[in-house]
């Protein structure tokens, strides 16, 4: 069995990178909106590792079966698990997220009702050869040779070195549920856990940890979720809040989050108080603490210091993500700019 590494990661950038400024060139590919997965097939057993600590093997039996039948030789593949539906086909995040279920009977049923696909975009090992030290151009050529002819549900992602075509993909593929473009330096080796790739998305998003909630001013339901990110010091830091829920959703969240409420030895809910500002001097800033176990994706516009400048918007829960993987390193850091130049 291959040792499954931590996946190589991507850093957000504002637009398609300038090829002239990238020694060795870039390879562009669509950014799939699914669960990052590394598939290990040693000729006997298929194991599907995830970006976080939760293995995905048991949740996708149809992919375990397909990889064992279809992959022509033992290999270690990096890629994305996605679910598509509709006419025309469109990536379905909710259907994919529902696949993470504790009941084996439910997993089996969903594997038939909403079968998944695996989109391969990197090859880390082939047979007895470890390819991680090879440049991406070599790994990509080997990947094409290995899985280029493999049928559904295993697919090979497309690539291009044409920046203009990548920009067109960015604009057009959103209609199919994809959420951007990834750029990979052709000359670089695989770098587990490092943000050496670049991602260009339609909007800034971040995966954050739910750390608490405030009761709505009406006294009914969750008014706002407090979220955090892990810093270089290994500590979880509050970075802002998520609001704008409907009345019904606020009440639902109280029930959903109840199992995560942090409690003392007597079983009483632990509370805290967030930092006050001149805007919150008369506002109740107390909140109910949550155990940092649940990850959500949010949309944001910009950072100010180490906090989101404005209230962020809830996008979706991320059951595939390990809370510890939610760090400041994923955020796009906007370069400093002199205000005088703006006013000039």
Tokens 């291959």, located at residue: 2
Domains and CATH numbers, the chain: 9-201 (3.30.470.30), 205-330 (2.40.50.140)
Residue 248: the pLDDT is 93
* Local structure of 294: helix, strand or coil: coil
Q: What is the pLDDT of residues 210-233, one digit of tens each?
A: 999 999 988 889 999 999 999 999
Tell me what percent of the residues of the chain surpass a pLDDT of 90. 68
What is the sign of the dihedral through the CA atoms of 311, 247, 258 and 58? negative
Write phi, then psi, for 148 (nearest 5 degrees): -55, -30
pLDDT tens track for 272-295? 776 644 334 445 668 999 999 999
The pLDDT of 8-37, averaged and rounded, is 88
pTM: 0.77
Query: What torsion do the CA atoms of 106, 107, 111, 114 make, to the nearest 10 degrees?
Result: 60
Q: Which of 31, 184, 199, 201 is catalytic?
A: 31
Q: What does the pLDDT look like over 162-211, one tens digit per residue?
A: 999 999 998 888 888 888 899 999 999 999 999 999 999 877 889 999 99
User: Per 3-state DSSP, what percentage of the chain is helix, strand, and coil (rounded to 5)?
Assistant: 25, 35, 40
- Choice among 9-18, 62-71, 236-245 with the minimum mean pLDDT: 9-18
Helices and strands counted in the chain (H then E): 7, 21
Query: How far apart, in whole angstroms, are the C-alpha atoms of residue 245 and residue 225?
Result: 10
Listed in sequence order, the DSSP H helices in the chain are 61-70, 93-97, 104-113, 136-147, 163-172, 247-257, 339-343
Q: Which of 297, 326, 320 is nearest to 50 (CA)?
A: 320
Q: How many CA atoms lie within 13 A of 185 on its CB side?
A: 19
Residue 15 has pLDDT above 90, yes or no: no
Helix (H, G, I), strand (E, B) or coil at 142: helix
Report helix angle 104-113 to 61-70, nearest 10: 60
For the chain, first and last CA: distance in Å? 62
> 48 near 234, Cβ under 8 Å?
no
Q: Is the pLDDT assigned to residue 340 strictly greater than 50?
A: no
Using the predicted structure, report yes or no on whether residue 33 has a pLDDT greater than 70: yes
- Determine the 3-state secondary structure of 254 from DSSP: helix
In the chain, % of residues over pLDDT 70: 92
Note the pLDDT of residue 343: 35
Token pair belonging to 166: 């990548």
CA atoms within 13 A on the CB side of 255: 4
Q: Does the active-site annotation cover 199?
A: no
């Amino acid at each position: 069995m291959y040792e499954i590494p931590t996946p190589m990661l991507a850093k957000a950038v504002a637009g398609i990178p300038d090829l002239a400024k990238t020694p060795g060139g870039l390879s562009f590919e669509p950014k799939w909106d699914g669960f990052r997965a590394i598939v290990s097939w040693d000729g006997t057993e298929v194991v599907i590792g995830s970006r976080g600590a939760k293995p995905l093997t048991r949740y996708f039996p149809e992919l375990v079966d397909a990889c064992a039948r279809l992959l022509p030789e033992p290999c270690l593949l990096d890629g994305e698990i996605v679910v598509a539906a509709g006419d025309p086909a469109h990536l379905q995040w909710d259907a994919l997220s529902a696949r993470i279920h504790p009941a084996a009977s439910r997993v089996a049923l969903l594997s038939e009702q909403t079968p998944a696909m695996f989109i391969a975009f990197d090859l880390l090992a082939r047979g007895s050869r470890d390819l991680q030290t090879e440049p991406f151009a070599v790994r990509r050529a080997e990947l094409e040779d290995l899985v280029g002819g493999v049928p559904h549900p295993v697919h090979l992602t497309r690539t291009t070195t044409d920046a203009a075509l990548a920009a067109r993909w960015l604009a057009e593929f959103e209609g199919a549920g994809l959420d951007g473009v990834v750029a990979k330096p052709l000359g670089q080796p695989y770098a587990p856990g490092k943000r050496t790739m670049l991602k260009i998305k339609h909007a800034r998003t971040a995966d954050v940890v739910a750390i608490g909630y405030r009761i709505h001013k009406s006294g009914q339901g969750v008014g706002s979720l407090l979220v955090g990110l892990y810093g270089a010091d290994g500590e979880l830091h509050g970075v802002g809040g998520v609001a704008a829920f409907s009345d019904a959703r606020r009440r639902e969240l109280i029930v959903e989050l109840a199992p995560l409420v942090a409690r003392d030895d007597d079983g009483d809910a632990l509370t805290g108080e967030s930092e006050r500002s001149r805007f919150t001097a008369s506002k109740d800033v107390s909140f109910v603490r949550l155990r940092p176990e649940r990850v959500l994706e949010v949309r944001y516009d910009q950072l100010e210091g180490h906090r989101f400048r404005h209230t962020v918007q809830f996008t979706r829960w991320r059951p595939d993500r390990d809370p510890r993987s939610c760090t400041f390193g994923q955020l796009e850091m906007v370069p400093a700019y002199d205000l005088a130049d703006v006013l000039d």
